[in-house]
């Protein structure tokens, strides 16, 4: 059975070329081929703010793919590369590619959209809808608050929600750490201070021992990590039970990280549409490192 490719979505922008470089490195570590895809959006109906004159370009000629071919010419240790040109709406076509890939990689913004946006619509659509994990590469120079990591070396970060762990996300994070020879930093956030309702419409702090909450969170996290540690005995996984907002903690941990791994929101009975979830959305917008969004395992999403 052939190995599914790592797909790099390109559009000629610097963001997409950075995504291409990341995809090539990932494909090398996975022993996988690379499929370079450019979705051309020529139809006037698909670009209401652009007047398109004359017939569309010859589909056999794609300047963006030609640019990538020239960029990769002579590159050492190059995986098998396939070039695919498609026509249509990128936000619709890119997620569909996930069914034939083990990973879809794209830049945080492409040529379209507003310069002020932190994440383009194509990246948002792919992260929300693709059937495979999606990696979004941020622009360089994003600054996040927080201290430098306590020790140097490659590091993968993953969020763990102890009241609803996502096994697919944990498995992907351990696998990525193993491929990179990296340590895995597991962030298990808990809300603090814990509040309850007192007088009508008045929140009051509850008398709960924070050390007990931290200990319970840590114990649960270690239990969920145990089978993944057994499957990846060479991966050092450090679990951190931390008070505060999960999104903020993950963004802070993204400083100097190789990758931050988050899960896509599971579908709920009253919200059957696919959702990113507020934590995943915030991490995509603000993390300084590449972000991998992992869909739920089949049957859970």
List, for residues 63-72, the tens digit of each pLDDT value: 999 999 999 9
Identify whether 87 is part of a domain.
Answer: yes
Residue 36 contacts residue 20 (beta carbons within 8 Å): yes
Shared-domain flag, residues 280 and 230: yes
Shared-domain flag, residues 76 and 119: yes
Residue 9 contacts residue 94 (beta carbons within 8 Å): yes
Shared-domain flag, residues 116 and 173: no
48 — pLDDT class (breaks 50, 70, 90): very low
For the entire predicted model, the pTM comes to: 0.84
Identify whether 146 is part of a domain.
Answer: no
Identify whether 125 is part of a domain.
Answer: yes
141 — pLDDT class (breaks 50, 70, 90): confident
Work out the average pLDDT over 275-298. Answer: 88
Mapping DSSP to helix (H, G, I), strand (E, B) and coil, where does residue 238 land?
strand
Distance between CA 101 and CA 132 in Å, rounded?
7
Tell me what percent of the residues of the chain surpass a pLDDT of 90.
59
Residue 202 has pLDDT above 80, yes or no: no
Shared-domain flag, residues 115 and 89: yes
Taking CA 159 as the corner, what is the angle to CA 157 and CA 162, rounded to the nearest 5 degrees? 145
157 — pLDDT class (breaks 50, 70, 90): very high
Range with the poorest average pLDDT among 204-218, 238-252, 264-278: 264-278
Shared-domain flag, residues 133 and 179: no
Residue 43 has pLDDT above 60, yes or no: no
**How does strand 155-159 pair with strand 183-190?**
parallel
Identify whether 148 is part of a domain.
Answer: no
Domain that holds residue 161: 155-294
Shared-domain flag, residues 116 and 184: no
**Considering only CA atoms, which of 140, 111, 105, 112 is closest in space to residue 126?**
105
- Residue 51, domain CATH: 3.40.50.620
Work out the average pLDDT over 173-199. Answer: 84
> Of 86, 102, 137, which residue is a domain's last?
137
Higher pLDDT, 192 or 119: 192
Each residue's pLDDT tens digit, 50-62: 444 445 555 567 9
E-strand spans in 143-258?
155-159, 183-190, 195-197, 203-205, 237-243
Mapping DSSP to helix (H, G, I), strand (E, B) and coil, where does residue 39 land?
strand
Residue 286 contacts residue 249 (beta carbons within 8 Å): no
Across-strand partners of 106? 136
Shared-domain flag, residues 131 and 220: no
Mapping DSSP to helix (H, G, I), strand (E, B) and coil, where does residue 234 land?
coil
> Of 89, 111, 137, which residue is a domain's last?
137
Shared-domain flag, residues 127 and 247: no
Residue 280 has pLDDT above 80, yes or no: yes
Averaged confidence pLDDT in the chain = 84
Identify whether 84 is part of a domain.
Answer: yes
Tally of CB atoms within 10 A around 49: 5
Shared-domain flag, residues 35 and 102: yes
Identify whether 142 is part of a domain.
Answer: no
Distance between CA 104 and CA 176 in Å, rounded?
14
Identify whether 143 is part of a domain.
Answer: no
Element (H, E) at 66: helix 63-72
Helices (H), strands (E): how many in the chain? 8, 12
Shared-domain flag, residues 23 and 132: yes
Higher pLDDT, 126 or 146: 126
Count: domains in the chain: 2
Q: Would you state the structure tokens that stand for residue 43, as one six-digit string?
A: 């139809």
Each residue's pLDDT tens digit, 233-268: 999 999 999 999 999 999 999 999 999 999 987 544
Shared-domain flag, residues 242 and 268: yes
Work out the average pLDDT over 161-185. Answer: 95
Task: Name the burial class of residue 223, with classes exposed (0-12), middle (13-18) and buried (19+) by CB atoms within 10 angstroms of its CB.
Answer: exposed
**How does strand 291-294 pair with strand 134-137?**
antiparallel
Check residue 5 and give left, alpha or beta (phi > 0: left; psi -120 to 50: alpha). beta
Identify whether 270 is part of a domain.
Answer: yes
């Amino acid at each position: 059975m052939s190995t599914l490719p790592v797909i790099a979505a390109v559009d000629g922008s610097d963001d997409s070329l950075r995504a291409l470089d990341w995809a090539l490195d990932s494909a090398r570590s996975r022993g996988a081929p690379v499929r370079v895809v450019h979705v051309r959006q020529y139809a006037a109906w698909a670009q209401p703010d652009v007047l398109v004159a004359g017939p569309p370009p010859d589909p056999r000629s794609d300047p963006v793919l030609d640019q990538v071919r020239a960029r990769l010419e002579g590159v050492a240790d190059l995986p098998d590369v396939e070039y695919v040109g498609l026509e249509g709406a990128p936000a619709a076509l890119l997620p569909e590619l996930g069914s034939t890939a083990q990973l879809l990689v794209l830049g945080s913004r492409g040529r379209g959209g507003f310069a002020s946006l932190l994440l383009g619509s194509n990246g948002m659509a792919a992260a929300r809808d693709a059937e495979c994990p999606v990696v979004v590469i941020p622009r360089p120079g994003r600054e996040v608050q927080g201290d430098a990591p306590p020790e140097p070396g490659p590091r993968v970060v993953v969020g763990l929600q102890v009241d609803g762990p996502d096994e697919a996300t944990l498995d992907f994070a351990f696998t990525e750490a193993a491929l990179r020879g990296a340590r895995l930093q597991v962030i298990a956030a808990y809300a603090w201070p814990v509040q309850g309702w007192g007088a009508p419409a008045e929140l009051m702090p509850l008398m709960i021992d924070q050390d007990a909450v931290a200990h319970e969170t840590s114990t649960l996290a270690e239990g969920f990590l145990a089978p993944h540690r057994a499957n990846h005995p060479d991966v050092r996984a450090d679990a951190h039970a931390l008070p505060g907002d999960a999104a903020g903690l993950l963004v802070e941990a993204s400083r100097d990280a190789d990758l931050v791994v988050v899960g896509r929101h599971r579908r709920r009975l009253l919200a059957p549409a696919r959702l990113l979830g507020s934590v995943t959305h915030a991490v995509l917008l603000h993390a300084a490192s590449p972000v991998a969004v992992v869909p739920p395992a089949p049957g859970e999403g």
